[in-house]
A and B are shown apart, each in its own frame.
Chain A
Amino acid sequence: MLYPLVLIALVAAPVALLARFPGRERIAWGLALIPLSIFGLTLALAGPVWEGGQVSERIAWVSALGLDLSFTLDGLSLLFALIISGIGTLIVGYAGHYLGADSGLGRFLAYLMLFMGAMLGLVLAGNVLTMFVFWELTSVTSYLLIGYKHDYADARRGALHSLLVTGGGGLALLVGLLLLGQAAGSYELSDILAAGDLLRAHALYPAAVILILLGCFTKSAQIPFHFWLPGAMQAPTPASAFLHSATMVKAGVYLMARLSPALGGTALWDVTLAVVGGATMTFAAIVAMRQFDLKAMLAYTTISMLGALTMQIGLGGKYGAEGVATNILAHALYKSALFMLAGVIDHECGTRDLRRLGGLRAYMPQTMVVTALALLSFGGIPVMFGFVAKELMLEAALETELGATMSLLAVAAIAITAVAYLVTGWRLFSSTFLGQRSLAAMQQHVTDPALGMLIGPGVPAVLSLLIPLAFLGPISGLIEPASVAIYGKPIEVKLALWHGVNPALLVSLSAIVIGFGLARFGEHLANLRGWPAWSRGDMIFDRLIERTLAGATALTRAIQEGRLRRYILITAVTMLIFVGVPFLSFGLGSIRLDLDPQLQFYEILAAALIPIGVIATIKARTRLGAIISVGMVGAMVALLFVLFSAPDLALTQLLIEVLSTVFLLLVFSVLPVRFESFSEAWVRRRDAIVATVMGVLMGSLVLATATNDAFAPLAPFFLENSLEQGKGTNVVNVILVDFRGFDTLGEITVLFIALLGIYGLLRLRQGKGDATPERVTATEPAAEPVDTKR
């Protein structure tokens, strides 16, 4: 009964369109009941998970390909499913207020529901192929959400970047998952997880790991793919809060955590994750400190946190697993709250530029309190949930099995990051709520938003405080099965605020002290000049896209230059290479040349007339002569069909001959009567060679097919079953419409597409006259000689 979780969200998407009507705030909170019911249903289904078990189910889909829709709910899936549906509930209600003035709210919420369904499918999938389908769906729905304000160029650019980066990573991931499935012998996650030792020793292991990590790093915005995430901040804030902090970007982390019991434990996996994750964490934390846009600031801290999660998976061990699970929850809570608060401030003040905000404490006291709570958790200040999570991260770094150097580096990176977080948090808070009253605040009669809008950020922010104070027990019960799934072995998790005085606490406290010391200089740090340009990955990516498009255009120009003989030449040569070479190496042996002893004289005559007709066509000086010669070839082929008792083919051949002669006459009637030679001698010789080789190849292919004994001929089957199963005595036709009906359907579709092509070529060109490029290139060569004669 797991699939309804996914289905409810997907089916509810059209219902969300209701939110286009007025009264949007209330409709949105009504729609929020949908994710809330998913949340409740997940909890109701999760019974066995608390005891360390899991819930599985399978729906047959394309069993022949090993493609079944299978769903599994275990600790890790449960944690994610609860975050997705829980935060989703708040986001949907919040969006009603944020986009209350926008009639596009219905469309927005529909996309959001689709995304939620995809994300739930991703974390509940029990089969890597099922998971991949949902993975791609999250990329597509994310694209729609980022590009929601599609009349803004920046929104379109951000959406395109995110789609190209995550979509490209998705391709790598697909290949990686296929390799993984091949190596493990199954695409079921449970089988893959059970085959860990086999996988690590497999020859395909390095390739599979690199490709899968490419997919995860792009999705979770790790260096050097991080730049798409700040661009994705063009999305309306509810989408940013949901997709780009709490859920979608964690899909990569989810997959790495999911696969780490099977793939982890090798230097390739552990060190790559620890180094890339640690670098991303530190780099993005420092960049975040220097931002002036609220959302950009939060985007970079999100990247940083994703790096931290990746690093912890790499560091491994008991604390690594616990740290990942705890940090995922803590981060989802405080970061979604912060994003929603950024939306509140933007909504009320009309700007989210820190330089234009300030002094809001007088106008928005409630917002200030909620923000303070979320920021304290973000900064890892004691008694907040963020503190508990950070302690575990430090433990993971101290206890890692990757060696003392790695351990020291990781601790240092975490300390630097913690300092940067504090500076960032202080800058965010002080330049928004403290200081001089800004112009924006005074002009707009800024007040605290409606209660409904504060519920969204309020609930997770308050939870960040309440969980460590009151609910550490139940939350440990949720974190434990998730950590077990990441670690791969049973462990006992008991979250606590106070572990006694230990190295982790000391590092943590000194980071807090240094952080508060540096916080005073936050503005100076932000305005420091000389920041390296390579932090602007999006610019480099823009240029990459331009180059790719230019390259594609050049290639198209080279291949499709607009002259028919060029197309035919390229097609023929390609076919010679890809069919001729394998045929020469494998197929030659199957040709047998033995003459039919009962060969009749008129059969030889008809056959002999065909090459004569061909030569006559080539040698013909006039177009009419060429058409007649071609007609003779066709007639002789039809005659041969009659002689070998294939009346259907003969009839078709004759009719086609008639029609093609008519068509040729229609086209040729505007051309000069006689052929002129424009091409140079070597070109004609080259074409003659290609044509001859092509003819020989096709002839030998037919001969090889006819004389090959390796396969049982199909004819007897059709002859025997035609009347019985096909209810007809004309075997050819029965094959066409019954046994091979599907092929015929494809053929008539091709016919129709050909018609559309001709229609487009002849008709659509007329309106534009000579302006179309094809016409221009076609007339250029003709025009030049005239000029030179003058």
Chain B
Amino acid sequence: MMPLLMMLSIFMLLRGHNLPGGGFIGGLLAASAIILQIVAFGPKTAQRILPVNYLLLAAFGIFFGAIWGLPALFAGLPYMQAFWLPEPIPGVGKIGTPVLFDVGVYFTVIGVTTKIALLLVEEPTIFPLPTMKSAPVEHEEGA
């Protein structure tokens, strides 16, 4: 399920400019995919499959989104004025700073949503038992 959902989320992200979709929706979809894994296999396994620091990912998303507003400043235009490549790239579509900004939104949404889920799952006062259980399970897998 995971790769399929991820592909769907990227598809949603890229088509967002012309058809329903976009960074928010794509990000939520990707986060759902990861959370599905967390719920199904536990946080440790999910982290092993996709070893990502979601806190950093969220911060990076904001940074990535924000820097694509800068080119306009250098051109003497107001911040975030759009720039577009003249020709669409096959399979991806037209690329311009708003699309790249949307990619930043995508990362932030994934990072924030997944990190909250991870925090809740790993909270010992919420799940005292599952964490104790998951440790021996992993040992069995290792063996």
Given contacts A728-B17, A730-B16, A759-B55, contact A648 B98 (CB under 8 A): no
User: Which residues of the other chain, A, contact B6 by a CB distance below 8 angstroms?
Assistant: none
Query: Which B83-110 residues have a C-beta within 8 angstroms of A?
Result: 84, 94, 96, 98-99, 101-102, 104-105, 108-109
Q: Is the CB of B98 within 8 A of A741?
A: yes
User: Which residues of the other chain, A, contact B126 by a CB distance below 8 angstroms?
Assistant: 666-667, 669-670
Partner of B111, one of A647, A651, A755: A755
Q: Is the CB of A662 within 8 A of B117?
A: yes
User: Which residues of the other chain, B, contact A725 by a CB distance below 8 angstroms?
Assistant: 82
Query: Which A732-771 residues have a C-beta within 8 angstroms of B?
Result: 732-734, 736-738, 741-742, 744-745, 748-749, 751-752, 754-755, 758-759, 762-763, 766
Closest beta carbon of chain B to A384's beta carbon, Å = 58
Partner of A667, one of B55, B69, B120: B120
Query: Which of B21-29, B44-52, B135-143 is the interface stretch?
Result: B21-29
Q: Is the CB of A766 within 8 A of B124?
A: yes
User: Which residues of the other chain, B, contact A758 by a CB distance below 8 angstroms?
Assistant: 116, 119
A554 within 8 Å of B (CB atoms): no
Q: Is the CB of A751 within 8 A of B28?
A: no
Give the residue name and chain of the A residue nearest to B94 (CB): A727
Closest beta carbon of chain B to A774's beta carbon, Å = 13
Determine the distance from Cα of A729 to Cα of B20 in the docked complex, in whole angstroms. 9
B11 within 8 Å of A (CB atoms): no
Closest beta carbon of chain B to A257's beta carbon, Å = 42
Q: When each residue 635-654 of chain A gets 1 if its CB lies under 8 Å from chain B and 0 otherwise, what string results? A: 00000000000011001100
Closest beta carbon of chain A to B72's beta carbon, Å = 10
Give the residue name and chain of the A residue nearest to B99 (CB): A737
User: Which residues of the other chain, A, contact B62 by a CB distance below 8 angstroms?
Assistant: 745, 748-749, 752
Give the residue name and chain of the A residue nearest to B16 (CB): A733
Q: Is the CB of B17 within 8 A of A754?
A: no
Partner of A651, one of B23, B25, B99, B104: B25
Determine the distance from Cα of A741 to Cα of B20 in the docked complex, in whole angstroms. 17
B112 within 8 Å of A (CB atoms): yes
Give the residue name and chain of the A residue nearest to B130 (CB): A669
Given contacts A730-B21, A738-B98, A748-B61, contact A655 B28 (CB under 8 A): yes
Query: Which B1-45 residues have a C-beta within 8 angstroms of A?
Result: 16-25, 28-29, 31-32, 35, 39
| Interface magnitude class on chain B | 35 or more
Q: Is the CB of A742 within 8 A of B16?
A: no
Determine the distance from Cα of A647 to Cα of B22 in the docked complex, in whole angstroms. 12
Give the residue name and chain of the B residue nearest to A647 (CB): B20
Determine the distance from Cα of A529 to Cα of B94 in the docked complex, in whole angstroms. 87
Q: Is the CB of A754 within 8 A of B112?
A: yes
Closest beta carbon of chain B to A37's beta carbon, Å = 34
Determine the distance from Cα of A474 to Cα of B24 in the docked complex, in whole angstroms. 72
Q: Is the CB of B20 within 8 A of A658?
A: no
Q: Is the CB of B116 within 8 A of A755?
A: yes
User: Which residues of the other chain, A, contact B19 by a CB distance below 8 angstroms?
Assistant: 729-730
User: Which residues of the other chain, A, contact B79 by a CB distance below 8 angstroms?
Assistant: 742
A726 within 8 Å of B (CB atoms): yes
Query: Which A493-538 residues have a C-beta within 8 angstroms of B?
Result: none
Determine the distance from Cα of A549 to Cα of B123 in the docked complex, in whole angstroms. 35
Q: Is the CB of A741 within 8 A of B104?
A: no
User: Which residues of the other chain, A, contact B125 by a CB distance below 8 angstroms?
Assistant: 670
User: Which residues of the other chain, B, contact A669 by a CB distance below 8 angstroms?
Assistant: 126-127
Closest beta carbon of chain B to A670's beta carbon, Å = 5
Q: Is the CB of A733 within 8 A of B117?
A: no
A663 within 8 Å of B (CB atoms): yes
| Interface magnitude class on chain A | 35 or more
Closest beta carbon of chain B to A307's beta carbon, Å = 50
Determine the distance from Cα of A730 to Cα of B20 in the docked complex, in whole angstroms. 6
A688 within 8 Å of B (CB atoms): no
Determine the distance from Cα of A758 to Cα of B126 in the docked complex, in whole angstroms. 14
Determine the distance from Cα of A726 to Cα of B115 in the docked complex, in whole angstroms. 32
User: Which residues of the other chain, A, contact B109 by a CB distance below 8 angstroms?
Assistant: 748, 751
Given contacts A656-B28, A738-B82, contact A752 B21 (CB under 8 A): no
A442 within 8 Å of B (CB atoms): no
A659 within 8 Å of B (CB atoms): yes
User: Which residues of the other chain, A, contact B84 by a CB distance below 8 angstroms?
Assistant: 727
Closest beta carbon of chain B to A192's beta carbon, Å = 32
Given contacts A658-B32, A666-B126, contact A748 B108 (CB under 8 A): yes
Closest beta carbon of chain B to A641's beta carbon, Å = 11
Q: When each residue 294-310 of chain A gets 1 if its CB lies under 8 Å from chain B and 0 otherwise, what string results? A: 00000000000000000
Closest beta carbon of chain B to A54's beta carbon, Å = 33
User: Which residues of the other chain, A, contact B39 by a CB distance below 8 angstroms?
Assistant: 662
Q: Is the CB of B55 within 8 A of A734?
A: no
Determine the distance from Cα of A659 to Cα of B33 in the docked complex, in whole angstroms. 10
User: Which residues of the other chain, B, contact A655 by a CB distance below 8 angstroms?
Assistant: 25, 28-29, 32
User: Which residues of the other chain, B, contact A663 by a CB distance below 8 angstroms?
Assistant: 116-117, 120
Q: Is the CB of A659 within 8 A of B22?
A: no
Determine the distance from Cα of A658 to Cα of B5 in the docked complex, in whole angstroms. 14
Determine the distance from Cα of A726 to Cα of B98 in the docked complex, in whole angstroms. 8
Closest beta carbon of chain B to A113's beta carbon, Å = 30
Q: Is the CB of A755 within 8 A of B31?
A: no
Closest beta carbon of chain B to A8's beta carbon, Å = 27
User: Which residues of the other chain, A, contact B111 by a CB distance below 8 angstroms?
Assistant: 752, 755
User: Which residues of the other chain, B, contact A763 by a CB distance below 8 angstroms?
Assistant: 119
Q: Is the CB of B115 within 8 A of A755?
A: yes
User: Which residues of the other chain, B, contact A734 by a CB distance below 8 angstroms?
Assistant: 17, 98
Determine the distance from Cα of A759 to Cα of B118 in the docked complex, in whole angstroms. 10
Given contacts A648-B20, A667-B126, A730-B17, contact A752 B98 (CB under 8 A): no
User: Which residues of the other chain, A, contact B101 by a CB distance below 8 angstroms?
Assistant: 737, 741, 744-745
Given contacts A670-B127, A730-B16, contact A752 B102 (CB under 8 A): no
Closest beta carbon of chain B to A739's beta carbon, Å = 9
Determine the distance from Cα of A755 to Cα of B127 in the docked complex, in whole angstroms. 20
User: Which residues of the other chain, A, contact B124 by a CB distance below 8 angstroms?
Assistant: 766
User: Which residues of the other chain, B, contact A733 by a CB distance below 8 angstroms?
Assistant: 16-17, 21-22, 102
Determine the distance from Cα of A745 to Cα of B68 in the docked complex, in whole angstroms. 11
Give the residue name and chain of the B residue nearest to A741 (CB): B80
Q: Is the CB of B35 within 8 A of A659?
A: yes
Q: Is the CB of B21 within 8 A of A648?
A: yes
Interface centre among B82, B84, B96, B104, by most A CB within 10 Å? B82
Give the residue name and chain of the A residue nearest to B101 (CB): A737
Determine the distance from Cα of A762 to Cα of B65 in the docked complex, in whole angstroms. 28
Closest beta carbon of chain B to A757's beta carbon, Å = 10
Closest beta carbon of chain A to B138's beta carbon, Å = 21
Determine the distance from Cα of A732 to Cα of B23 in the docked complex, in whole angstroms. 12
Closest beta carbon of chain B to A363's beta carbon, Å = 63
Determine the distance from Cα of A530 to Cα of B89 in the docked complex, in whole angstroms. 89
Given contacts A652-B25, A755-B55, 14 further A-B contacts (CB under 8 A): A651-B20, A659-B113, A666-B126, A727-B17, A730-B19, A733-B22, A736-B105, A737-B101, A745-B69, A748-B65, A751-B112, A755-B111, A762-B119, A762-B123
Instruction: List the 4 closest pairs (A to B, CB-CB), nearest first.
Output: A728-B17, A655-B28, A647-B20, A733-B22
6 CB contacts below 8 A, A to B, read A670-B127, A726-B98, A727-B17, A734-B98, A744-B101, A745-B101
Partner-B contacts on A (CB < 8 A): 647-648, 651-652, 655-656, 658-659, 662-663, 666-667, 669-670, 725-730, 732-734, 736-738, 741-742, 744-745, 748-749, 751-752, 754-755, 758-759, 762-763, 766
